[in-house]
Each structure stands twice: as structure tokens, then as C-alpha cells.
């Protein structure tokens, strides 16, 4: 029923829970495996809810666990209203949601509306020439006998965005050929999404992260790409130019439709994965009647450099300033190289990642953490035989893909699975030297990355200095910055230079590394009041 989340009548209005929440992204395959098959599952997540409560996060974001042949590890959905047996069943999902709520943790799930699996019943019927063909983008080819694709669009995963069907027509897939794009001009497609939204909301979910939120509507007529820009478009998130495949105006009607459904369930949230050219285009997705939040990649694409980080913060705040939506902040996720590695790896990368954790958690708005970043996990350079990302396959090995940031969580003990699985293998191999990264080894170590995150999350929740949604910048030496939360008075300072700098005045609340009473060392951040 649609009132499952309604507030009691007469309840005082309060800011939405998600406005300054810390979301924890669980890549379901890689979090915890309860049945020994080497792949994470819903019961595995449920068994670790106590850890997540101890960590101090407010909400989970679960990557797809729906029925799927796993050509793209769940992002090719064959049934959006059921659980793939690899991950459990609907009863396991219901237990997970209920127990998460008992732990005070909300649950949001992935929504994959841009495409289906080629094993979806609709697509099987479309290939047979049924009326379901109108739910996808089928077109006759060009050239003699239709031997050429209908246009020159490329797939994000490499190669052409068209595959020829047995009857000679071609179908569009902006990702893998096993992921045919849906036609959002079709009323059946829209009606089915409404059914999916209601299905999961009625089961108690607290919201959705919308995959490829900028991609559902294609430019009318599917015009050719400018040949001059085609070579720069391949890559998981390469949309550097005007691109008729993505960010077309009609997509906003779809988001308004989603919002109308979600708003009938109190305390729910929508988060869009948005890759667009400009801040102005980004802001359109988080207007009051569209997405509540836009997933912001600016920090995740920024080097460890004070000036670059400050520009990313300023641009992020400016992008949502006129919309009423809070900013969001992320350093890593399942599509992006882990930031310990991006920042140089080893001790250097870890030291810089610790500093950026304090910067991220000091900012106003919503924070997204990716499972394992609270352990300081690096990207893993996997051997070719272990790679499973379709990007690696469809680029002919030119791109390594995203497997390196998806290696499973190390929980306790030793290899080969470090407590991730009850069996002796994991779907991606785990490095044999990860014993020092386990939750077990870090939990009682006050100097560990995990202890830093736990302390920072506790302070963020309980200290009034974090109040307020505006920042004020201080003057700072080259290679440094300092800002103050105007509503509460927290000061966060970052030194990315190679020399110590004077600390701003105030009492130290928390530091990413050792600090003196007067100096902030290189590659260190600090909170002061």
C-alpha cells in the first residue's frame, strides 16, 4: 500500500533525512558471501549490518540484485521485480530491509531504466517481431542491403552502438550488445517502470539510485554524431561534448514521472547518476519536481591538489545553488578507480586519502562512501585471466575495465577470501597481502583508516559545528585551503603542499595525521572549532 512510509498526522515538519546523510554503497557481488559460491549476496549483507551501524552510516545503496544473466554483473536486468537466485530471493530481501531499519539504516536500491537484458521477455518477443519491438530502438540499416548500422553512434563500452538482429534490422545498445536500450516514447515502457517503483516501495525501500539518469531519452531522429568527436567518446563516462545519445531534454519528463510516484511514499529519495557537460545542465536534473539528489563526480575526478579540490567544491556548490537540492560528494565508486590508487598508492596514497576523507565529511550536504574505502583499499591490478568487466571484452583488451575497484571486502583472518566468503574462492581474486586491510585488523587500531572514518562519522553526527549549508573560505598559503561551515563554525583545513603551514586558530577536533600545536604537515587535513 502506498502509505507505508507516511508520517503520523500532526508530525512537525523536519528537514528530509537524506539532506545531510552518509550513504554507503554496497557492491552486492563484493561485500559478503553467505553461501560459499564466491559471490556476495543479500544474506551476506544482512550478516554485516552490525558493522555498518558501528561505522555510523545512515543509508545503504545496493547495486542491482535483480534477475539477470550477468553480462554486466546485474546492470543487464531480465526481471526488475525479482531477486536473482545468485543473490537470494525476495524473502531474503525483505529480511535485509527489515533488519536494516532496526539498525537505523535506510535502504536504497539501484534502478536501471535505460536498458534491459537481451534475456528480458520483452526483447525475446521483439526479436520474434512482436509488438514489443516498439519498446526498443529497432531501425533498418544503411547502405546496400542494410549492411551498415543506422547511424554512427558508438557504445560506451567500445565498438558500434548497434547490433543486427536475425531479421536484418538493427537494435540500439549504448552499452553492451546484451543491454538493448528501451524506447521511452513507448507508453508500456513508462507504465512498467511505475509498476517497478511501486513494487519495491511497497516492500519498504527508502529510495532509488537511477542508473544512467541522463541517458534514457535519445535525440529525436537519432542523428549521427559529429565524426570529429567520435574517437573521444569511448569510455565508461566520456561525455565531453554535445552528444545526441545523452542528456536530451525529453529525459526530464521521465524524471518528473518517477518523482510523482516516489513522492506518494513519505521519506523516500531519488539519486541520479548524471554525466553532463555543464553545471547548468546538471542543475536541471535536481529541480524541485525531478531528482532529489544528483550524484556528483567532481571530487572523484580531481587530483590531490588544493586549488583543484577547491574549484571542484565551488563548482559543485554553484551547480545546485538555485535548485534547493543539497550538494553530494563522492571520492570513489564501482565505476571509478579507488582514490588511494589515484592519489599515488602505497603510503602516499593512503595519507592523501585520509586527508580527503576529512575534507569530504566536512562539507555540507550528502556523502557517498563506497564499500572498502573506509579500509583504505587500493585498486587491484588483476591478471588478464581474472578480468570480467565487459569494457575489457568490448574494447579488445585496450581498456582494463573496472574490476580493479570491485575486488571483494576483506573482513578477517587470512586468504584467499579473508572472511568475505564461507568458501575458499571469490569471484575476483583477492591479493594475498590484504591481511592488514581487514576490518578485524583495523577495528581496534586507533591509527587505522577505519578508526579515522568511525571517529569522523561520529563527530559529524554529534557536533553542532557541522550545522549550516554554506561555506566561507579563508586565505591560505599556496597548496592549501581552509573553509568554515558558516552555520556551525567548523573549520576544515587541507595542506597538499610539501611543507608545513600554520594552523588556523581553533581547537583541533580531528586530524588525518599527526599535527603540532601550530603547524599543519604536508598531505594532511584537520578539523578545528
pLDDT band at 517 (very low <50, low <70, confident <90, very high): confident
Cβ pair 116, 74 in contact under 8 A: no
- Residue-wise pLDDT for 173-225, tens only, equals 999 999 999 999 999 999 999 999 999 999 999 999 999 999 999 999 999 99
* Residue 57 and residue 23 in one domain: yes
Cβ pair 265, 206 in contact under 8 A: no
Q: Any idea which of 136-145, 229-238, 332-341, 484-493 has the lowest mean pLDDT?
A: 229-238
Catalytic residue numbers, as ranges: 211, 273
CATH number, residue 495: 2.60.40.1180
* Residue 197 and residue 72 in one domain: yes
Cβ pair 334, 369 in contact under 8 A: no
The whole-angstrom distance between residue 350's C-alpha and the CA centroid of its chain comes to 21
Cell reading at 240: 565531453
Whole-angstrom distance between the N-terminal and C-terminal Cα of the chain? 47
Quick check: 342 pLDDT over 90? yes
pLDDT band at 34 (very low <50, low <70, confident <90, very high): very high
CATH number, residue 95: 3.20.20.80
- Residue-wise pLDDT for 86-134, tens only, equals 999 999 999 999 999 999 999 999 999 999 999 999 999 999 999 999 9
* Residue 54 and residue 107 in one domain: yes
Comparing CA positions, the residue from 316, 357, 332 lying closest to residue 469 is 316
Cβ pair 120, 66 in contact under 8 A: no
Q: Which residues span the domain enclosing 70?
A: 19-115+191-459
7: in domain: no
pLDDT band at 499 (very low <50, low <70, confident <90, very high): very high
DSSP single-letter state for residue 336? B
* Residue 475 and residue 449 in one domain: no
Cβ pair 114, 181 in contact under 8 A: yes
Instruction: For residues 451-465, give the mean pLDDT.
Output: 96
pTM value is 0.95
Strand (E) positions, 378-453? none
pLDDT band at 491 (very low <50, low <70, confident <90, very high): very high
- The C-alpha atoms of residue 153 and residue 371 are separated, in whole angstroms, by 34
* Residue 391 and residue 507 in one domain: no
332: in domain: yes
Phi and psi dihedrals of 398, rounded to 5?
A: -65, -30
* Residue 27 and residue 159 in one domain: no
DSSP single-letter state for residue 182? B
Cβ pair 219, 185 in contact under 8 A: no
Cβ pair 108, 115 in contact under 8 A: no
186: in domain: no
Cβ pair 63, 368 in contact under 8 A: no
Quick check: 83 pLDDT over 60? yes
- The C-alpha atoms of residue 174 and residue 80 are separated, in whole angstroms, by 19
* Residue 54 and residue 97 in one domain: yes
- Residue-wise pLDDT for 248-306, tens only, equals 999 999 999 999 999 999 999 999 999 998 899 999 999 999 999 999 999 999 999 99
Cell reading at 32: 559478503
- The C-alpha atoms of residue 101 and residue 442 are separated, in whole angstroms, by 26
Cβ pair 93, 42 in contact under 8 A: yes
Comparing CA positions, the residue from 510, 387, 388, 385 lying closest to residue 451 is 510
- Residue-wise pLDDT for 37-58, tens only, equals 999 999 999 999 999 999 999 9
Which of 433, 459, 485 is the last residue before a domain boundary? 459
Name 285's bridge partners.
none
Q: Return the number of other C-beta atoms located less than 10 Å from residue 487's C-beta.
A: 14
Q: What is the reported pLDDT for 232?
A: 61
Q: What is the reported pLDDT for 242?
A: 74
* Residue 163 and residue 245 in one domain: no
Name 524's bridge partners.
495
Secondary structure (DSSP) of 46-97: HHTHHHHHHHT-SEEEEPP-EE---TTTTSS-SEEEEE-TTT--HHHHHHHH
- The C-alpha atoms of residue 31 and residue 53 are separated, in whole angstroms, by 15
Quick check: 236 pLDDT over 50? no
* Residue 110 and residue 125 in one domain: no
177: in domain: no
Instruction: For residues 230-242, give the mean pLDDT.
Output: 57
Region of 473 please: left (phi>0), alpha (psi -120 to 50) or beta.
beta
Quick check: 73 pLDDT over 90? yes
DSSP single-letter state for residue 142? B
Which of 426, 459, 492 is the last residue before a domain boundary? 459
183: in domain: no
Quick check: 11 pLDDT over 60? no
* Residue 127 and residue 111 in one domain: no
* Residue 140 and residue 282 in one domain: no
For the chain, what is the mean pLDDT?
94
Name 214's bridge partners.
none
* Residue 245 and residue 341 in one domain: yes
178: in domain: no
Q: Any idea which of 11-20, 136-145, 410-419, 421-430 has the lowest mean pLDDT?
A: 11-20
Domain count, the chain: 3
381: in domain: yes
pLDDT over 70 for what percent of the chain?
96
478: in domain: yes
Q: Return the number of other C-beta atoms located less than 10 Å from residue 506's C-beta.
A: 17
Which of 439, 459, 479 is the last residue before a domain boundary? 459
Amino acid at each position: 500500500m502506498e502509505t507505508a512510509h507516511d508520517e503520523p498526522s500532526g508530525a512537525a515538519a523536519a528537514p528530509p533525512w537524506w539532506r545531510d546523510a552518509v550513504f554507503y554503497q554496497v557492491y552486492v557481488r563484493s561485500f559478503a558471501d553467505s553461501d560459499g559460491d564466491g559471490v556476495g549476496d543479500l544474506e551476506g549483507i544482512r550478516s554485516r549490518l552490525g558493522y555498518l551501524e558501528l561505522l555510523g552510516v545512515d543509508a545503504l545503496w545496493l547495486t542491482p540484485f535483480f534477475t539477470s544473466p550477468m553480462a554486466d554483473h546485474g546492470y543487464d536486468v531480465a526481471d526488475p521485480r525479482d531477486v536473482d537466485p545468485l543473490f537470494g530471493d525476495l524473502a531474503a530481501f525483505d529480511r535485509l530491509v527489515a533488519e536494516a531499519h532496526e539498525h537505523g539504516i535506510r535502504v536504497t536500491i539501484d534502478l536501471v531504466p535505460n536498458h534491459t537484458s537481451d534475456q528480458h521477455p520483452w526483447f525475446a518477443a521483439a526479436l520474434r517481431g512482436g509488438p514489443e519491438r516498439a519498446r526498443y530502438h529497432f531501425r533498418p540499416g544503411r547502405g546496400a542491403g542494410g549492411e551498415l548500422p543506422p547511424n554512427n553512434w558508438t557504445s560506451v563500452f567500445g565498438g558500434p552502438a548497434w547490433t543486427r538482429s536475425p531479421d536484418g534490422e538493427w537494435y540500439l545498445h549504448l552499452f553492451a550488445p546484451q543491454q538493448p536500450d528501451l524506447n521511452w516514447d513507448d507508453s508500456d515502457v513508462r507504465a512498467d517502470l511505475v509498476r517497478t517503483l511501486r513494487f519495491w516501495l511497497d516492500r519498504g525501500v527508502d529510495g532509488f539510485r537511477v542508473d544512467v539518469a541522463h541517458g534514457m531519452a535519445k535525440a529525436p531522429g537519432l542523428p549521427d554524431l559529429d565524426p570529429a568527436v567520435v574517437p573521444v567518446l569511448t569510455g565508461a563516462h566520456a561525455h565531453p561534448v554535445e552528444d545526441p545519445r545523452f542528456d536530451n531534454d525529453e529525459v526530464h519528463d521521465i524524471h518528473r514521472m518517477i518523482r510523482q510516484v516516489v513522492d506518494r511514499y513519505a521519506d523516500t529519495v531519488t539519486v541520479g547518476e548524471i554525466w553532463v557537460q555543464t553545471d547548468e545542465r546538471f542543475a536541471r536534473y535536481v529541480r524541485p519536481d525531478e531528482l532529489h539528489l544528483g550524484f556528483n563526480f567532481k571530487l572523484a575526478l580531481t587530483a590531490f591538489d588544493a586549488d583543484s579540490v577547491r574549484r571542484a567544491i565551488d563548482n559543485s556548490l554553484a551547480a545546485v545553488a538555485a535548485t534547493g537540492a543539497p550538494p553530494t560528494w563522492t571520492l570513489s565508486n564501482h565505476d571509478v578507480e579507488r582514490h588511494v590508487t589515484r592519489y599515488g598508492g602505497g603510503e602516499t596514497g593512503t595519507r592523501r586519502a585520509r586527508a580527503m576523507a576529512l575534507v569530504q565529511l566536512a562539507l555540507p550536504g550528502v556523502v557517498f562512501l563506497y564499500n572498502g574505502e573506509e579500509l583504505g583499499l587500493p585498486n587491484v591490478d588483476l591478471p588478464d585471466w581474472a578480468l570480467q568487466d565487459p569494457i575489457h571484452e568490448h574494447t579488445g583488451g585496450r581498456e582494463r575495465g573496472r574490476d580493479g575497484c570491485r575486488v571483494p571486502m576483506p573482513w578477517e583472518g587470512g586468504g584467499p577470501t579473508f572472511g568475505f566468503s564461507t568458501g575458499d574462492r571469490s569471484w575476483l581474486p583477492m591479493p594475498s597481502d590484504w591481511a592488514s586491510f581487514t576490518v578485524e585488523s583495523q577495528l581496534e587500531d586507533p591509527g587505522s583508516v577505519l578508526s579515522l572514518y568511525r571517529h569522523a562519522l561520529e563527530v559529524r553526527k554529534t557536533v553542532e559545528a557541522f550545522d549550516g549549508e554554506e561555506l566561507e573560505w579563508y586565505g591560505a598559503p599556496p597548496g592549501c585551503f581552509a573553509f568554515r561551515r558558516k552555520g556551525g563554525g567548523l573549520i576544515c583545513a587541507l595542506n597538499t603542499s610539501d611543507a608545513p603551514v600554520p594552523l588556523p586558530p581553533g581547537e583541533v577536533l580531528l586530524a588525518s595525521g599527526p599535527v603540532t600545536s601550530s603547524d599543519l604537515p604536508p598531505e594532511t587535513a584537520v578539523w578545528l572549532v
